[in-house]
Amino acid sequence: MEMSATKTIDLPSQRVWTLRDRREGSIVPAPFPSSSNDGPPATCSAGVAGENVSAKELKKPGSASYREKKARLKGLSPYPLVRLTRHTPSRVTSLTPSIASITTADGQTDDVFVSGAEDSDTSMAVSDSSISSRKRERPLTTAEYIDLAAAKLRVIEIEQKMADLEERKSILNPVTSLPPKVRESAEEIVEHFLEKMKNAPTGDIVSQAFEDMEQVLRVSNVSKGLKGTLAKALKKAACRARAGVTIRSTKNLMSASECASLELHSLNKELEMARREIKNLREEVRALRNRASELP
């Protein structure tokens, strides 16, 4: 009895369905060699010892090479159905190895070690939970930082208060319009003559003021390069004239002058207290900065 000629059956529906699922990323049925005499389908492939053998590469049925390759294909087991679980977080740029889950056809889930890959459309995405978030290292906010900020605010407030007091004092006492060094050296002399001429008659005060002004004129006409004795005499005469004019104006306007004197005295005390307080605050701020610099 003669055997019929062997024919290769082409399954277009299976081929089209397989190619479509491969493009869409769905489950792809594992190709396996046919057990009939018709030979494997045209679209099936099987791996044999590291090489791929397709039906197109097989020679005509009946040849020795065909029988040999068919015998090798019979010993292969069908490929399993494998589904890769792809995550869809933000794009992964890290090359840190991670763990991806693989679901087989029978519903079992296995963990697979996935090495780091470059950021591309074909790379496997790794979930955000596998990437450890790194925050900027900084010391925690403690009460020391809060105290430092409060001390800085108090320093600014005290400095503003001192500026206001200096402005009011310059209005009440014209001597403050002088340079700081001249003012400090002249205030002591002015205070001395104020105490000495407080109870003097008005005529004596006026005559003394005229004499002092004449002394200023004589010294100024001697030379531009004043010596020590001449400069001292000039300063003394000017301070005495200032004291005489101040007392004269005080006696003429006792009520207004008394108010101004009291206010000036209180302002001086308040200014002195403010200076002491700002000095203590600066020392406190300096200590807090040293402690803050020692923190990790």
**pLDDT score at 180:** 72
- Using a 10 angstrom Cβ sphere, with 0-12 exposed, 13-18 middle and 19 or more buried, the burial of residue 128 is exposed
Please give the chain's pLDDT, 296 residues, in tens: 455 555 555 554 555 555 555 555 555 454 444 444 444 444 444 444 334 444 544 555 555 566 666 666 655 544 444 455 555 544 444 444 444 444 444 555 554 444 444 444 444 444 444 444 555 566 566 666 677 778 888 888 888 888 887 777 666 665 556 677 777 777 778 788 878 877 777 778 777 887 887 778 777 767 667 677 777 777 788 778 777 777 776 666 666 666 677 677 778 888 888 888 888 888 888 888 888 877 76
**pLDDT score at 126:** 45
Three-state DSSP at 227 gives coil
**pLDDT score at 34:** 46
How many Cα atoms within 13 Å fall on the side-chain side of residue 50? 0
How many Cα atoms within 13 Å fall on the side-chain side of residue 82? 12
**pLDDT score at 127:** 45
CB contact set of 143 (below 8 Å; sequence gap of 6+): none
If we measure between CA atoms, which residue out of 82, 86, 81 comes closest to residue 100? 86
Tokens encoding 290 = 């040293």
Q: Please, are residues 264 and 172 in contact by the beta-carbon 8 Å criterion?
A: yes
DSSP per-residue codes, 242-266: HHHHHHHHHHHTHHHHHHHHHHHHH
